[in-house]
Chain A
Amino acid sequence: MTGAATVQQTEVLESTALNAEYHRLRVRAAAPAATARPGQFFQLLCPASPAGTPFLRRPMSVFGADPAAGEVSFLFKVTGLGTRGLAGLRAGETLDLLGPLGNGFTLDPAWRHIVALGRGAGLATLAPLGAAARGAGMGVSAILSARRPTLMVADDAFRAAGAEVTLVTDAEGTSGPAHVERLLRGLIAAGRCDALFTCGSARLLEVVRRLAQGFGIPAQVALEQQMACGLGMCFCCVRAFRVDGQVLHRRVCYDGPVFDAREALE
């Protein structure tokens, strides 16, 4: 992890409930926050809600960062103490953020077509990657998974960036690992998968890891874990990886959150 991270008081520009579960926040932020790259994250000091006040910051991946406009946006599922406080923020109020943190996704200029595969809140993490890949002239196929169509998020962002979007849902019976694997194998066979990217589902990570290993395709996963410091100091956010036959722990906040998907263990 390199580069400066700052604590910044930002002004909330927009706070919108997207559906029954997901919420989007957009804030005005100066550099270095607004230069956050896809896959990086911020540590947010979440405000109090009727549910209480979180003591620690909450990690939140960047959904969008626009250095020219000086804006950063987040898209998240409202689940616990932290996200409930965030969802209660209104335009004009203040959000304290620390970042940008962690290592983002990397794009090899030699790749011509990439595949992004994600589910739930993980779609928010992958969306800026899709835009970056399109901006670099790559083709993007996005397979986006949700429990039901009304809970799908970030599909509009992928479409706006010019990605080819396939939606799969539990409600329609299309989101199972076997079906997703068939979709991926089709893209690989068509020569449209120079690299795989995933976030948001252990089952999908398993599919990605198997195909990436089998076909020798580079694969990156953005992982989540409970965090305290966000700067690699406290070692609470470790996850297990298999590297050269050995299991070792890496810190999601500092060594990641983006890792080689072929090494990540569940």
Chain B
Amino acid sequence: MTDLSVRIGALTLANPVMPASGTFGEGMARALDLDRLGAFVTKTITRELRLGNPLPRVAETAGGMLNSIGIPSQGVAHFLEHTLPFFAAYAPPLIASISAPTAEGFASLAAALSVPGVAAIEANISCPNLEADGQAFAMREASTGAAVRALRTATALPLWVKLTPNVGEIAPVARAAEDAGADALVVANTILALSIDIETFRPRLGNVLGGLSGPAIKPIVLRQVWQCARAVRIPVIGCGGISDAADAVEYLLAGASAVQVGTASFRDPTVMVGIIAGLDRFCERHDLPRLADLTGAMRTEETDEPELAWVSPVA
């Protein structure tokens, strides 16, 4: 019997598989035994009521999809009165995903949601920052640090920080979040993308740009998880294109302590249960008593440093 449990800071999860924010909700209970999951992650909550973006909000691409939903949110009261009691009936810890247009907005929202029944805050700092010309907080070390510092003072709950993949160098942003007090990183959000209907000459999304998710992005985000896991001491939760247990193992080997599954649940809402069972079989096949030992277990050559000799060859 493999021990599938993982530790994310102070929080112990029965297994490493949880939904990605925005791909989970009460409706999944109709298709899946929710108690099998390692944790629940809510759709992102904002303080204000938001209708969301113009339609169409999703578009298919090769090996994935674009979305620009625009975080429709029913606000804090709805979460406290409806969402929280619904999930209180289940065993897995509930992670509240939040977003705000300012660092202070993040802090006050985190404080409002630091209530019994919420096990951790996942700060979605991949959203536009009104204080920085709409750039996502997570696109800059400074704005990442400012948002996470404000969050850290506002809540005693474990603080997960969800990074954007839309950066040149992700490791410095990861370090900024860790230095500001994050307990874990979620790597990553969707990749900014565009798709155009060549018959109508129109973008396939009402918002023009959207986020690419699904199998197409897995190798890119896997690389970023590896880069982040090398850069920080806090746990990294991998999120990007995971569709089966093999994908999840790859993320663990790259340094993730847990994984989030999103787009794959749209094709098969039971896929997370299948991934958990597949991880168990994988560990048995490899005689691993503890799944957590897979984290960061990728084997490389003697040196951990990339071979750079070709950059400036010695004569």
Contacts and interface: CB of A to CB of B under 8 A. Distances in A.
Contact of A4 (B30, B43, B64): B30
Tier of interface size on chain A: 20 to 34
Interface stretch (B145-153, B262-270, B293-301, B307-315): B262-270
Interface in A222-245: 225-226, 228-236, 238
Contacts of B72: 235, 238, 249
A1 B267 contact: no
B23 interface: yes
Given A228-B67, A231-B31, A45 B267 contact: yes
Contacts of A7: 31, 268-270
Interface in A198-252: 225-226, 228-236, 238, 249
Interface stretch (A33-41, A54-62, A69-77, A130-138): A54-62
Given A235-B72, A249-B51, A1 B27 contact: yes
Interface string A1-21: 111111100000000000000
Interface stretch (B1-9, B53-61, B105-113): B53-61
B69 interface: yes
A2 B26 CA distance: 10
Nearest to A55: B60
B27 A233 contact: yes
B113 to A, nearest CB: 20
Contacts of B60: 54-56, 81
Nearest to B61: A55
Nearest to A233: B25
A6 B33 CA distance: 11
B24 interface: yes
A56 B58 contact: yes
A98 interface: yes
A235 B53 CA distance: 10
Given A54-B60, A55-B64, A254 B269 contact: no
Contacts of B157: none
A236 B23 contact: no
B75 interface: no
B28 interface: yes
User: Which has the most chain B C-beta neighbours within 10 Å: A56, A57, A233, A238?
Assistant: A233
B265 to A, nearest CB: 7
A55 B63 contact: yes
Contacts of B61: 55
B30 A229 contact: no
A5 B30 contact: yes
Contacts of B23: 229, 233-234
Contacts of A101: 30
A3 B23 CA distance: 20
A234 B266 contact: yes
B95 interface: no
Interface string A41-69: 00001000000001111000000000000
Interface of B: 22-28, 30-31, 43, 51-52, 55-58, 60-65, 67, 69, 72, 214, 265-270
Interface of A: 1-7, 45, 54-57, 81, 98, 101, 225-226, 228-236, 238, 249, 254
29 contacts: A4-B31, A55-B62, A55-B267, A56-B58, A56-B267, A228-B58, A229-B265, A231-B27, A231-B269, A232-B27, A233-B24, A233-B25, A233-B27, A233-B28, A233-B43, A233-B265, A234-B22, A234-B23, A234-B57, A234-B69, A234-B266, A235-B43, A235-B52, A236-B57, A236-B58, A238-B52, A238-B55, A238-B72, A249-B51
Given A231-B31, A236-B69, 11 more contacts: A7-B31, A55-B65, A81-B60, A98-B268, A228-B65, A229-B23, A231-B25, A233-B265, A234-B22, A235-B52, A236-B58
